[in-house]
Amino acid sequence: MTRSAESPADRGSSEDRKDEEAAEVREWIESLDYVLERSDPEHVIRLLDKLQVHARQRGVALPSATSTPYVNTIPVSAQPPYPGSHDLERRIRNIIRWNAMIMVVRANREDPTMGGHIATHPPVSTRGLFSKDA
């Protein structure tokens, strides 16, 4: 499929663009189905990897698709009770957060250009600073 040199604003209404995008998606899916019918899934994976590389080379910032092969095979009903104390751990997180804040405040007193944000402190930023139980 060849694209014209017109800008998105020149292509018509929002509805026209949605229709065009839907047709484009159908074409991509048909192409993928065609490859799957004539090849194996590993070939599709290699093809998609090459498309991602090409898109990045063209300046497309693709979202990270970080995942692991881990699957929890223990149903929630069969899991043992939590071995720790939620209250104690919440208190420890609060103390760590408070300590990080004090360090930032003290550093800024000595040098106001220092900057620093409490959420950049690693133990705080990786422990669910804004979670319900923090």
Instruction: Answer whether residue 32 is part of any domain.
Output: yes
Distance of CA 23 to the CA centre of its chain: 27
Instruction: Answer whether residue 95 is part of any domain.
Output: yes
Instruction: Answer whether residue 47 is part of any domain.
Output: yes
Domain membership of residue 113 as a residue range: 83-125
| pLDDT, tens digit (0-9, with 9 covering 90-100), for 70-84 | 888 888 899 888 888
Instruction: Answer whether residue 88 is part of any domain.
Output: yes
pLDDT at 109: 82
**Residues 88, 53 share a domain:** no
Look up tokens 């009903």; give the residue: 77
How many domains in the chain? 2
Range 39-68 average pLDDT: 89
| pLDDT, tens digit (0-9, with 9 covering 90-100), for 103-125 | 888 888 887 777 666 555 555 54
Instruction: Answer whether residue 73 is part of any domain.
Output: no
d(CA 95, CA 124): 10
| Average pLDDT of every residue of the chain | 80
Instruction: Answer whether residue 63 is part of any domain.
Output: no
